[in-house]
Amino acid sequence: MNISSAINEGSKFLKSKFISSSQLDSEILMAKTIDKDRNYILLNSNNLINKDDLSNFYDLIKQRSLGSPIAYLTNSKFFWNSKFYITEDVLIPRPDTELIVENLLRLTKHKNKINILDIGIGSGCIILSVLKEREDFIGTGIDISKKCLNISRINAINLNVSSRLKLYKSDVDKFNLGKYDLIVSNPPYIKTHILKYLERDVANFEPRTALSGGLDGLSEIRKVIKKSSELIKKNGKFILEIGYDQKNKVINLLKKEGFYINSTQKDLAYNDRCIVSTKI
Ligand code: GLN
Protein backbone atom coordinates (compact mmCIF):
# COMPACT_ATOMS: atom_id res chain seq x y z
CA MET A 1 0.00 0.00 0.00
CA ASN A 2 1.25 3.53 -0.65
CA ILE A 3 1.32 6.42 1.82
CA SER A 4 -1.62 8.19 0.29
CA SER A 5 -3.99 5.20 0.39
CA ALA A 6 -3.00 4.43 3.98
CA ILE A 7 -3.70 8.03 4.98
CA ASN A 8 -7.08 7.88 3.26
CA GLU A 9 -8.00 4.69 5.03
CA GLY A 10 -6.91 6.14 8.36
CA SER A 11 -8.85 9.31 7.74
CA LYS A 12 -12.01 7.43 6.75
CA PHE A 13 -11.80 5.34 9.90
CA LEU A 14 -11.33 8.41 12.13
CA LYS A 15 -14.23 10.13 10.40
CA SER A 16 -16.46 7.12 11.07
CA LYS A 17 -15.56 7.53 14.77
CA PHE A 18 -16.53 11.23 14.66
CA ILE A 19 -13.03 12.66 14.86
CA SER A 20 -13.51 16.02 13.19
CA SER A 21 -9.95 16.68 12.02
CA SER A 22 -9.69 13.19 10.51
CA GLN A 23 -7.61 13.98 7.42
CA LEU A 24 -5.11 16.18 9.21
CA ASP A 25 -4.79 13.73 12.11
CA SER A 26 -4.22 10.84 9.74
CA GLU A 27 -1.47 12.77 7.94
CA ILE A 28 0.21 13.73 11.22
CA LEU A 29 0.12 10.15 12.48
CA MET A 30 1.60 8.89 9.21
CA ALA A 31 4.39 11.46 9.50
CA LYS A 32 5.03 10.28 13.06
CA THR A 33 5.03 6.60 11.97
CA ILE A 34 7.66 7.01 9.30
CA ASP A 35 9.53 9.72 11.20
CA LYS A 36 9.18 12.43 8.55
CA ASP A 37 7.37 15.76 8.45
CA ARG A 38 4.02 16.44 6.84
CA ASN A 39 5.62 18.05 3.76
CA TYR A 40 7.50 14.85 3.04
CA ILE A 41 4.26 12.89 3.33
CA LEU A 42 2.47 15.15 0.88
CA LEU A 43 5.34 15.19 -1.60
CA ASN A 44 5.96 11.44 -1.46
CA SER A 45 2.44 10.16 -1.21
CA ASN A 46 3.04 7.45 -3.84
CA ASN A 47 5.88 5.81 -1.89
CA LEU A 48 5.10 2.37 -0.62
CA ILE A 49 4.80 1.82 3.10
CA ASN A 50 6.22 -1.35 4.65
CA LYS A 51 4.25 -3.81 6.75
CA ASP A 52 5.65 -2.84 10.13
CA ASP A 53 5.06 0.85 9.54
CA LEU A 54 1.55 0.15 8.34
CA SER A 55 0.74 -1.80 11.46
CA ASN A 56 2.22 0.94 13.68
CA PHE A 57 0.19 3.51 11.77
CA TYR A 58 -3.05 1.58 12.26
CA ASP A 59 -2.24 1.29 15.93
CA LEU A 60 -1.93 5.09 16.24
CA ILE A 61 -5.14 5.57 14.25
CA LYS A 62 -6.90 3.19 16.62
CA GLN A 63 -5.71 5.12 19.66
CA ARG A 64 -6.75 8.41 18.08
CA SER A 65 -10.18 6.96 17.30
CA LEU A 66 -10.59 6.26 21.02
CA GLY A 67 -9.86 9.90 21.81
CA SER A 68 -6.16 9.92 22.60
CA PRO A 69 -4.95 13.45 21.75
CA ILE A 70 -2.55 13.96 18.84
CA ALA A 71 -0.03 15.65 21.17
CA TYR A 72 0.27 12.47 23.25
CA LEU A 73 0.44 10.20 20.20
CA THR A 74 3.20 12.29 18.63
CA ASN A 75 4.83 13.26 21.95
CA SER A 76 4.96 16.85 20.86
CA LYS A 77 3.10 20.13 20.81
CA PHE A 78 3.99 23.51 19.39
CA PHE A 79 3.61 26.36 21.88
CA TRP A 80 4.69 29.99 21.43
CA ASN A 81 7.92 29.63 19.41
CA SER A 82 8.96 26.11 20.23
CA LYS A 83 8.15 22.47 19.96
CA PHE A 84 7.69 20.83 23.37
CA TYR A 85 8.17 17.20 24.31
CA ILE A 86 4.88 16.00 25.81
CA THR A 87 3.71 12.80 27.48
CA GLU A 88 0.50 11.81 29.23
CA ASP A 89 2.09 12.99 32.48
CA VAL A 90 1.68 16.66 31.56
CA LEU A 91 -1.18 18.87 30.48
CA ILE A 92 -1.02 19.59 26.76
CA PRO A 93 0.02 23.24 26.29
CA ARG A 94 -3.03 25.30 25.23
CA PRO A 95 -3.02 28.20 22.78
CA ASP A 96 -4.94 30.15 25.45
CA THR A 97 -1.95 29.86 27.79
CA GLU A 98 0.15 31.79 25.26
CA LEU A 99 -1.66 34.80 26.71
CA ILE A 100 0.40 34.32 29.87
CA VAL A 101 3.64 34.30 27.90
CA GLU A 102 2.55 37.38 25.96
CA ASN A 103 1.86 39.26 29.20
CA LEU A 104 5.08 38.16 30.75
CA LEU A 105 7.16 39.31 27.81
CA ARG A 106 5.31 42.61 27.60
CA LEU A 107 5.75 43.34 31.31
CA THR A 108 9.47 42.57 31.25
CA LYS A 109 10.36 44.32 28.00
CA HIS A 110 12.85 46.67 29.63
CA LYS A 111 13.99 44.45 32.46
CA ASN A 112 17.09 42.37 32.74
CA LYS A 113 18.30 39.52 34.91
CA ILE A 114 14.98 38.93 36.56
CA ASN A 115 14.19 35.89 38.61
CA ILE A 116 10.96 34.05 37.69
CA LEU A 117 9.10 31.33 39.57
CA ASP A 118 6.63 29.03 37.78
CA ILE A 119 4.31 27.23 40.21
CA GLY A 120 3.18 23.93 38.68
CA ILE A 121 5.62 23.98 35.79
CA GLY A 122 4.13 20.95 33.97
CA SER A 123 5.78 20.64 30.56
CA GLY A 124 7.63 23.90 31.15
CA CYS A 125 5.91 25.59 28.24
CA ILE A 126 5.40 28.95 29.97
CA ILE A 127 8.69 29.61 31.67
CA LEU A 128 10.86 27.94 29.02
CA SER A 129 9.26 30.01 26.26
CA VAL A 130 10.25 33.11 28.23
CA LEU A 131 13.77 31.92 29.07
CA LYS A 132 14.32 31.21 25.40
CA GLU A 133 13.41 34.77 24.42
CA ARG A 134 15.19 36.53 27.29
CA GLU A 135 18.72 35.28 27.58
CA ASP A 136 19.54 36.82 30.95
CA PHE A 137 16.41 35.74 32.84
CA ILE A 138 16.64 33.03 35.46
CA GLY A 139 13.86 30.52 36.11
CA THR A 140 12.71 28.26 38.91
CA GLY A 141 10.00 25.68 38.44
CA ILE A 142 8.20 23.61 41.03
CA ASP A 143 5.76 20.76 40.61
CA ILE A 144 4.33 17.97 42.74
CA SER A 145 5.00 15.55 39.92
CA LYS A 146 8.53 14.24 39.45
CA LYS A 147 7.57 13.14 35.94
CA CYS A 148 6.63 16.71 35.03
CA LEU A 149 9.99 17.92 36.28
CA ASN A 150 11.76 15.35 34.10
CA ILE A 151 9.80 16.51 31.08
CA SER A 152 10.53 20.17 31.85
CA ARG A 153 14.20 19.30 32.10
CA ILE A 154 14.15 17.59 28.71
CA ASN A 155 12.40 20.60 27.19
CA ALA A 156 14.87 22.97 28.82
CA ILE A 157 17.75 21.01 27.32
CA ASN A 158 16.09 20.93 23.89
CA LEU A 159 15.58 24.70 24.03
CA ASN A 160 19.11 25.31 25.28
CA VAL A 161 18.08 27.07 28.48
CA SER A 162 18.71 24.37 31.07
CA SER A 163 21.62 26.22 32.70
CA ARG A 164 19.16 28.95 33.70
CA LEU A 165 16.47 26.69 35.14
CA LYS A 166 16.22 25.22 38.63
CA LEU A 167 13.60 22.59 39.37
CA TYR A 168 12.17 21.41 42.68
CA LYS A 169 9.68 18.70 43.49
CA SER A 170 7.40 20.32 46.04
CA ASP A 171 3.88 21.03 47.09
CA VAL A 172 3.14 24.66 46.61
CA ASP A 173 2.45 25.24 50.30
CA LYS A 174 5.72 23.64 51.38
CA PHE A 175 8.01 25.56 49.05
CA ASN A 176 9.96 28.33 50.77
CA LEU A 177 13.04 28.95 48.66
CA GLY A 178 14.03 32.33 47.29
CA LYS A 179 12.42 35.65 46.42
CA TYR A 180 11.17 36.33 42.93
CA ASP A 181 10.71 39.37 40.71
CA LEU A 182 7.88 37.66 38.92
CA ILE A 183 5.69 34.66 39.61
CA VAL A 184 3.59 32.85 37.06
CA SER A 185 1.17 29.95 37.39
CA ASN A 186 -1.38 27.96 35.44
CA PRO A 187 -2.73 25.90 38.32
CA PRO A 188 -5.47 23.28 38.14
CA TYR A 189 -8.73 25.22 38.32
CA ILE A 190 -11.56 23.02 37.08
CA LYS A 191 -14.25 22.07 39.61
CA THR A 192 -13.81 18.36 40.35
CA HIS A 193 -17.39 17.43 39.54
CA ILE A 194 -17.14 19.18 36.16
CA LEU A 195 -14.12 17.17 35.05
CA LYS A 196 -16.14 14.33 33.59
CA TYR A 197 -18.06 16.74 31.37
CA LEU A 198 -14.95 18.12 29.67
CA GLU A 199 -14.27 17.00 26.10
CA ARG A 200 -13.49 13.29 25.95
CA ASP A 201 -9.91 13.91 24.80
CA VAL A 202 -9.30 16.04 27.89
CA ALA A 203 -11.35 14.14 30.47
CA ASN A 204 -10.08 10.67 29.64
CA PHE A 205 -6.48 11.40 28.77
CA GLU A 206 -5.05 14.46 30.49
CA PRO A 207 -3.68 14.27 34.05
CA ARG A 208 -6.31 14.98 36.68
CA THR A 209 -3.79 16.55 39.00
CA ALA A 210 -3.17 19.23 36.37
CA LEU A 211 -6.86 20.00 35.98
CA SER A 212 -8.71 19.46 39.23
CA GLY A 213 -9.11 22.49 41.46
CA GLY A 214 -11.22 20.82 44.13
CA LEU A 215 -14.90 21.34 44.91
CA ASP A 216 -15.06 25.02 44.00
CA GLY A 217 -12.18 24.95 41.51
CA LEU A 218 -10.22 27.39 43.66
CA SER A 219 -8.40 25.18 46.13
CA GLU A 220 -5.07 25.25 44.27
CA ILE A 221 -5.46 28.87 43.22
CA ARG A 222 -5.86 29.84 46.90
CA LYS A 223 -2.61 28.07 47.79
CA VAL A 224 -0.78 29.54 44.83
CA ILE A 225 -1.86 33.09 45.71
CA LYS A 226 -0.93 32.69 49.36
CA LYS A 227 2.48 31.25 48.55
CA SER A 228 3.14 33.84 45.87
CA SER A 229 2.45 36.66 48.28
CA GLU A 230 5.20 35.25 50.51
CA LEU A 231 7.77 34.54 47.81
CA ILE A 232 7.35 37.58 45.59
CA LYS A 233 9.45 40.74 45.96
CA LYS A 234 7.70 44.02 46.69
CA ASN A 235 6.41 45.46 43.39
CA GLY A 236 6.86 42.05 41.79
CA LYS A 237 4.36 40.98 39.15
CA PHE A 238 2.14 37.93 39.48
CA ILE A 239 0.51 36.43 36.38
CA LEU A 240 -2.16 33.83 36.91
CA GLU A 241 -4.30 31.73 34.56
CA ILE A 242 -7.88 31.26 35.80
CA GLY A 243 -11.12 29.54 34.82
CA TYR A 244 -13.71 31.46 32.76
CA ASP A 245 -15.98 32.08 35.79
CA GLN A 246 -13.38 32.80 38.47
CA LYS A 247 -12.36 36.39 37.79
CA ASN A 248 -14.21 38.14 40.63
CA LYS A 249 -13.47 35.54 43.26
CA VAL A 250 -9.79 35.45 42.35
CA ILE A 251 -9.53 39.23 42.34
CA ASN A 252 -10.85 39.23 45.91
CA LEU A 253 -8.37 36.57 46.97
CA LEU A 254 -5.52 38.54 45.40
CA LYS A 255 -6.53 41.79 47.09
CA LYS A 256 -6.69 40.06 50.46
CA GLU A 257 -3.10 38.90 50.02
CA GLY A 258 -1.88 42.38 49.17
CA PHE A 259 -1.93 42.37 45.40
CA TYR A 260 -3.00 45.31 43.23
CA ILE A 261 -4.90 44.23 40.11
CA ASN A 262 -3.29 45.59 36.95
CA SER A 263 -5.46 43.93 34.33
CA THR A 264 -7.55 40.93 33.44
CA GLN A 265 -7.54 39.46 29.99
CA LYS A 266 -9.69 37.29 27.80
CA ASP A 267 -8.58 34.26 25.82
CA LEU A 268 -9.20 33.42 22.16
CA ALA A 269 -12.76 32.33 22.98
CA TYR A 270 -13.36 35.61 24.81
CA ASN A 271 -13.40 34.02 28.27
CA ASP A 272 -11.63 35.66 31.22
CA ARG A 273 -8.38 33.73 31.40
CA CYS A 274 -5.56 35.75 32.89
CA ILE A 275 -5.03 38.17 35.77
CA VAL A 276 -1.96 40.37 36.08
CA SER A 277 -1.31 41.82 39.54
CA THR A 278 1.44 43.53 41.51
CA LYS A 279 2.50 42.90 45.10
CA ILE A 280 2.24 46.12 47.05
N1 GLN B 1 -7.63 25.36 30.32
C2 GLN B 1 -7.59 23.97 30.66
C3 GLN B 1 -8.76 23.25 30.01
O4 GLN B 1 -9.22 23.71 29.04
C5 GLN B 1 -7.54 23.80 32.14
C6 GLN B 1 -6.18 24.07 32.63
C7 GLN B 1 -6.07 24.14 34.09
O8 GLN B 1 -6.88 23.62 34.89
N9 GLN B 1 -5.08 24.80 34.48
O10 GLN B 1 -9.21 22.20 30.36
From the alpha carbon of 206, which atom of ligand 1 is closest?
Answer: 10
**Ligand 1 centroid vs 188 CA: distance in angstroms?**
7
Band the pLDDT of 249: cuts 50, 70, 90. Answer: very high
**Ligand 1 centroid vs 149 CA: distance in angstroms?**
19
Write the residue with the smallest CA distance to atom 2 of ligand 1.
211
**Domain presence at residue 28:** yes
From the list 160, 224, 228, the residue with the least C-alpha distance to 189 is 224
**Ligand 1 centroid vs 190 CA: distance in angstroms?**
7
Same domain for 101 and 59: no
Question: What is the domain extent for residue 41?
Answer: 3-66
**Ligand 1 centroid vs 174 CA: distance in angstroms?**
24
For the segment 189-239, what is each residue's pLDDT rounded down to a tens digit?
Answer: 999 999 999 999 999 999 999 999 999 999 999 999 999 999 999 999 999
Same domain for 38 and 95: no
Same domain for 12 and 84: no
Same domain for 166 and 142: yes
For the segment 92-148, what is each residue's pLDDT rounded down to a tens digit?
Answer: 999 999 999 999 999 999 999 999 999 999 999 999 999 999 999 999 999 999 999
**Domain presence at residue 246:** yes
**Ligand 1 centroid vs 41 CA: distance in angstroms?**
33
Cα 191 from chain centroid (whole Å):
19
Same domain for 248 and 212: yes
Same domain for 147 and 11: no
CA distance 1 to 24: 19
Note the pLDDT of residue 227: 98
Over residues 74-87, mean pLDDT: 97
Backbone angles phi, psi at 18, to 5 degrees: 65, 30
CA distance 203 to 224: 24
**Domain presence at residue 262:** yes
Percent of the chain with pLDDT over 90: 99
By the 8 A CB rule, do 278 and 259 touch?
A: yes
Same domain for 129 and 213: yes
Note the pLDDT of residue 193: 95
Write the residue with the smallest CA distance to atom 3 of ligand 1.
211
Ligand 1 is surrounded, with C-beta below 6 A, by 94, 186-190, 198, 202, 211, 241
For the segment 168-195, what is each residue's pLDDT rounded down to a tens digit?
Answer: 999 999 999 999 999 999 999 999 999 9
3-class DSSP assignment, residue 141? strand
Over residues 55-62, mean pLDDT: 98
**Domain presence at residue 195:** yes
**Cα within 13 Å of Cα(10), Cβ side:** 30
Number of structural domains (the chain) is 2
By the 8 A CB rule, do 241 and 187 touch?
A: yes
**Domain presence at residue 72:** no
Same domain for 185 and 50: no
Note the pLDDT of residue 262: 98
